[in-house]
Amino acid sequence: MEIHLPQLFQRCVKPETKPKKEVTKQSSFNRLAMLELSYPSTMLTEDLSTSLAGSNLHVFTLGELKVITQSFSSSNFLGEGGFGPVHKGFIDDKLRPGLKAQPVAVKLLDLEGLQGHREWLTEVIFLAELRHPHLVKLIGYCCEEEHRLLVYEYMPRGSLENQLFRRYSVSLPWATRMKIALGAAKGLAYLHEAEKPVIYRDFKASNILLDSGLQCQTSDFGLAKDGPEGDDTHVSTRVMGTQGYAAPEYIMTGHLTAMSDVYSFGVVLLEL
């Protein structure tokens, strides 16, 4: 029986599942634009903190993040992507009131890398609002002079890409692969069906992280965009994403829709 990808994507998500998201007066895009006006002013940190009030994100100092990562020691290095290097750290329960002791992943923006301040800011704003079991949990951030860092919940099994294609990785059972596909689909559906829809725009195996039980969480929201609303059918935008995962119609026209994410989901499904 032939099943088209959009149908399969929909079947991965229970029909009665409805996203629960706090409604804000401004879209994430508008908040992003307003905050960008503060950069590189010293007012950015204050404006950002005010904008994210009530989000439960912690604001860390660069000194604190150096301590928890042992000055970004090579022994704590986890990997590097378009944003910059990622190091493992450990937060004890004395660092912040209400913040439990836990391992974390600290991502440092490479000022000479492929992404920049805008992508860092985008990730902070979106993940401050978005909460779902299959989206990575942002614990806090650091914005100090030119330094931009993000602190996430640590995912001990690394990325799906490593699990699938690393030379000495153990093959994932079929049931586990389908569990990962289901979780990834639920995460994307939450974004697409939210009160203010979000298009992820960079869905790929390296951005799907796995915990110790191989539950998946989608990470790296630096390229995410507010989706079309009302009578709009698409968002016109500069083409961004990863070759091989980006939908052909998006590459040709610059018209971004939720179906662009569904195409990328299909590529990951094929890899699985």
CATH number at residue 84: 3.30.200.20
**Given 118, 153, 188, which residue is the final one in a domain?**
153
Residues 177 and 211 in one domain: yes
pLDDT for residue 47 is more than 90: no
Which of 133, 153, 173 terminates a domain? The answer is 153
The reply to whether 60 and 104 lie within a common domain is yes
Could you give the residue numbers annotated as active site?
202
Region 124-147: what's the mean pLDDT?
A: 90
CATH at residue 197: 1.10.510.10
**Co-location of 214 and 258 in the same domain:** yes
Do 68 and 34 belong to one domain? yes
For 83, the domain range is 28-153
How many domains is the chain partitioned into structurally? 2
Q: What is the 3-state secondary structure (H, E, C) of the chain?
A: CCCCHHHHHHHCCCCCCCCCCCCCCCCHHHHHHHHHCCCCCCCHHHHHHHHCCCCCCEECCHHHHHHHCCCCCHHHEEEECCCCEEEEEEECCCCCCCCCCEEEEEEECCCCCCCCHHHHHHHHHHHHHCCCCCECCEEEEEEECCEEEEEEECCCCCEHHHHHHCCCCCCCCHHHHHHHHHHHHHHHHHHHCCCCCEECCCCCHHHEEECCCCCEEECCCCCCEECCCCCCCCEECCCCCCCCCCCHHHHHHCEECHHHHHHHHHHHHHHC
**Do residues 188 and 149 share a domain?**
no
Summarize pLDDT for 53-90 with one digit per residue, the tens. Answer: 666 888 899 999 999 999 999 999 998 887 889 999 99
Q: What is the mean pLDDT of residues 124-140?
A: 91
pLDDT grade for 22, boundaries at 50, 70 and 90: very low
Share of the chain above pLDDT 70, in %: 78
Is residue 40 located within the same domain as residue 149? yes
Q: 233-254 pLDDT, tens per residue?
A: 787 788 888 889 999 999 999 8
Pair (129, 171) in one structural domain: no
Same domain, 177 and 72: no
Same domain flag for 140 and 162: no
Mean pLDDT (whole number) for 124-136: 90
At residue 140 the predicted structure's pLDDT band, cuts being 50, 70 and 90, is: very high
Q: End of a domain among 153, 188, 212?
A: 153
